[in-house]
Amino acid sequence: MLTVAHKPVLLKETIEALAIQPGGRNIDCTLGGGGHAAAILEQSAPGGQLLGIDADPEAIRFATARLSKYQNSVLLVNDNFGNLGDICQRYSFSPVHGILLDLGLSSNQLDDDPRGFSFQRDAELDMRFNPAQETTAAEIINTASETELALILREYGEERFNQRIARRIVQERPINTTLQLAHVVEDALGGRHGKIHPATRTFQALRIAVNRELEMLEIVLSQATDVLGIGGRLVVISYHSLEDRIVKHFMQKEAKDCICPPNVLVCHCGHSAGLRIVNKKVIVPSEEELKDNPRSRSAKMRVAEKIAPRQQSDKVTYSHFSKN
């Protein structure tokens, strides 16, 4: 259950990057503890409107209480942000002035959630953001082949000892709790070395696999571009190289007129730039924030502004806020 006051990462930078104005309508695709949402609503008052999305029903319940004073200006939806386009259509919430994606886990999920996101406490190996999903981390750990496990650890955790860890997992199965898995990984790698726990990459890989995080990220980036109005801002905060690489490549691609291969002399793609990259260099937390919130240390922010519709025939007009 969510009880801890989550510290939103890069809060000041996020508000500045979104270029929030009074009366603006914005979307927080990763509601979490509601910290960014509260700041967005405060900055966009009077008349601001916010659509908040989170796959975790606990986050929705927590944010509902936290944002209660803005209840006439906020709509919270328990869904995966990969369904952004459908959600906006369902609630007539498009186009918008700004969209935020903060891809990190909240402190609540890391510290107090019983679903096994962290090995700091013993819990069942679940790792589902939404408990209604079918596949859990325990199912993957206990049913996937050694080859499949090694691939997951390599692709989603960038774990160079993926084969060694996968082999030990298969040997030690069944594994059903976080501490069991952490100990298995630690033994496979010959104990702890350095400040980072040897199971960190394994837990990251499993969480990404369970929630199809990279797939959903690729989907939502395209949908976000469609939902934004001209001049609207897309702000993405990522926490590891896999996420940041996807965001960086997407923004670079959408900021180009031609995306044909370099060896093609005449453009055949018909692609035209729809975004302008706002920050040429990635934005990272200040030294002050790092001291106050060490968990922000790996955060990287990228910002883009919509300069044209994805199709020239698109017309952008702001509609009324509706919950129907």
203-228 residue pLDDT tens: 999 999 999 999 999 999 999 999 99
Instruction: Answer for the pair 301, 17: CB distance below 8 angstroms, yes or no.
Output: yes
Residue pair 116/178 in contact by the 8 Å Cβ criterion: yes
* pLDDT recorded at residue 261: 83
Task: State the architecture of 11-108+214-306 in CATH terms.
Answer: 3-Layer(aba) Sandwich (3.40)
10-27: pLDDT as tens digits: 999 999 999 999 999 999
Task: Give dist(CA 165, CA 111) in Å, integer.
Answer: 25
Look at residue 126 in the predicted model and tell me its pLDDT.
95
The ranges assigned to domains in the chain are: 11-108+214-306, 110-211
Distances (CA, A) of 92 to 73, 88, 323: 14, 6, 8
pLDDT in tens, 264-320: 878 888 888 999 999 989 999 999 999 999 989 999 999 999 999 864 433 333 333
**Confidence band for 112, pLDDT divided at 50, 70 and 90:** low
pLDDT digits (tens, 9 = 90+) for 145-184: 999 999 999 999 999 999 999 999 999 999 999 999 999 9
> What 3-state class would DSSP assign to 157?
helix
pLDDT of residue 98: 98
The reply to whether 11-108+214-306 and 110-211 are identical in fold is: no
Q: How deeply is 189 buried, as exposed, middle or buried, from its count of CB atoms within 10 A (0-12, 13-18, 19+)?
A: middle
In this prediction, residue 235 carries a pLDDT of: 98
pLDDT(2) > 80 = no
Give pLDDT, residue 317.
34
CATH architecture type of domain 110-211:
Orthogonal Bundle (1.10)
* pLDDT of the residue at 264: 80
